[in-house]
Amino acid sequence: MDKTISLTLKVWRQKNAEDPGKFELYPVKDISIDASFLEMLDVLNEQLVLEGQVPIAFDHDCREGICGTCGAVVNGRPHGRLSKTTLCQLHMRHYSDGDTIVIEPFRAKAFPVVKDLVVDRSSFDRIVRKGGYVSVRTGQAPDAHATAVSKPDADLSMDAAQCIGCAACVAACPNASAMLFVGAKVSQYALLPQGQVERKIRAQAMVSQMDAEGFGACSNEYECEAACPKGISVSNIARLNREFLRSSI
């Protein structure tokens, strides 16, 4: 009843961090167009297991586009071509029968490949460690209405805070820069009164960790915004630039 398609997958296979890795071709048949991209990989993996082969490792968790775990570069684009969509929310109806799909891991020095399509994004956690929070201890807070926050600022802060930390921005950037990720976090707090006390120290510490992790510099290509499944604006990078300059003088 369902419409199905058959495809050829060209998938990056790499046993571990030391393995040089290579592409392998896999034909997949009769995939329902209602299946998600990851479900299509599930089907292939079940087939591989039954054939006694090692299934393709890929990260995934919530499969509803919010946890930021999944992600691969599909035909040259992180999370595939569809805008504002994570790989788990990309459905096969966007492909045609007979297509060849090339699937590669996110590529960045700061994201070493762990296995196949799985990369290590702990560099993001280390950046957050340096200041992606307001240093308030449980129990210290005043009443939630002690400080009013202008709605436009609160809304902009929320827009920035929507980042799911999937790292598609880095994968898409020709320089493998993490400026959109860091910009979003710094913006979220720079826009709120709660974030003011640590505003300068946060911008300095997070940028310095970002550089130490080996991410590239931003050259205003805006590929990050195009790849971001949450549509986070590059104006957050502009704000990061401003915050950094402000905190340097």
When asked if residue 48 is in the footprint of another protein (CB under 8 A), the reply is: yes
When asked if residue 245 is in the footprint of another protein (CB under 8 A), the reply is: yes
Number of shown-chain residues binding another protein (CB under 8 A) = 131
Do residues 176 and 216 lie in contact, with contact meaning Cβ atoms separated by under 8 Å?
A: yes
The residue type of 71 is: G
When asked if residue 26 is in the footprint of another protein (CB under 8 A), the reply is: no
Query: Cα separations (Å) of 69 from 33, 180, 234?
Result: 23, 17, 22
When asked if residue 233 is in the footprint of another protein (CB under 8 A), the reply is: yes
When asked if residue 234 is in the footprint of another protein (CB under 8 A), the reply is: yes
Q: How far is the CB of 15 from another protein (least distance, A)?
A: 8
Helix 122-129 to helix 179-190 angle (10° resolution) is 30
Q: Which of residues 106-165 bind another protein (CB under 8 A)?
A: 107-110, 114-115, 118, 120-122, 124-125, 128-130, 132-145, 148-151, 154-155, 157-158, 161-162, 164-165
Q: Which of residues 68-97 bind another protein (CB under 8 A)?
A: 68-69, 73, 75-77, 81-82, 85, 89, 91, 93
User: How would you label 213-238 residue by residue, b for 16+ Cβ within 10 Å and e otherwise?
Assistant: bebbebeeeebbbbbbbbebbbebbe
Q: How far is the CB of 178 from another protein (least distance, A)?
A: 9
Q: How far apart are CA 136 and CA 139, in angstroms?
A: 8
